Amino acid sequence: MKLLVLVLAVLFMVLLPLPANSQYDNGRINGTVDAWTINFGYVVSDSFQAYDVSAFQIGVWLFPGDTVTALDWSITSSEFGGTVYGSGTASGRNVTDTFVSSNQYGYNIDVISVSGMNVPLTGSTYWLNLANASVSSGDPVYWDENSGAGCQGNGCPSSASESAIGTIPSEAFTIGGACCGTTPEPSGFSLFATGILGVAGVLRRKFSL
């Protein structure tokens, strides 16, 4: 068991690029504890502080073979609503799915990058809301829970809510801006395994649709 945990930890220490001009980083992908559905009518909302936003990245759990092709997003003044500062459906060349590895439960761990945004903000607290993630199989898509471990930036760690449950631990994501580019640059958004934890808890949240 100890050897398996060590192997997982090594496998998940993978550095990935952040959005250009990254402003807010809620920490590394965990990939082993839990994740929250962002399709099938469920919405997950995480707080952040940033200025003009042009891109973001999230860590997700997917069934093997799935690739995210579209994702609805909005940036609002409060969780799930209030003033809407920007919204849209990321698809086509504005959404990319990068496979990283597989976790101990058999899910693929991927990074979803969304670009082409133009949301002017002032550095206050806002909420990123994600829903209607689409894969060709119609399977669930899960946003990785990391509880803000290793986060950076004002307002860190993020607060978070799930539309059916309420307050939850926050998720793995980064916010990029504030000018024009969306070309990734090397940084510290990495995948981090903490070992084998709570299979029953993972399944309860994953399949209670």
Domain ranges for the chain: 2-206
What mean pLDDT is reported for the chain?
82
| Total-model pTM | 0.81
Q: Which residue in 200, 105, 89 sits closest to 144, CA to CA?
A: 105
Mean pLDDT throughout 180-191?
35
Q: Report pLDDT for 67.
A: 98
Quick count: other Cβ atoms within 10 Å of Cβ 182?
18
79: CB partners within 8 A, 6+ apart: 45, 47, 127, 129, 159, 161
Q: Please determine, for residue 15, whether its predicted confidence score (pLDDT) is greater than 70.
A: no
- State how far the alpha carbon of 115 is from the alpha carbons of 64, 70, 176, in Å: 24, 12, 9
Q: Report pLDDT for 170.
A: 98
Largest CA distance in the chain: 50
Reported residue count of the chain is 209
The four Cα atoms 14, 179, 54, 171 give a dihedral, to 10 degrees, of 50
On whether the CB atoms of residues 95 and 69 are closer than 8 A, the answer is yes
Q: Please determine, for residue 38, whether its predicted confidence score (pLDDT) is greater than 70.
A: yes
Q: Please determine, for residue 192, whether its predicted confidence score (pLDDT) is greater than 60.
A: no
CA distance 192 to 137: 27
Q: Please determine, for residue 196, whether its predicted confidence score (pLDDT) is greater than 90.
A: no
Mean pLDDT throughout 135-145?
98
% of the chain exceeding 90 in pLDDT: 73
Mean pLDDT throughout 29-50?
97
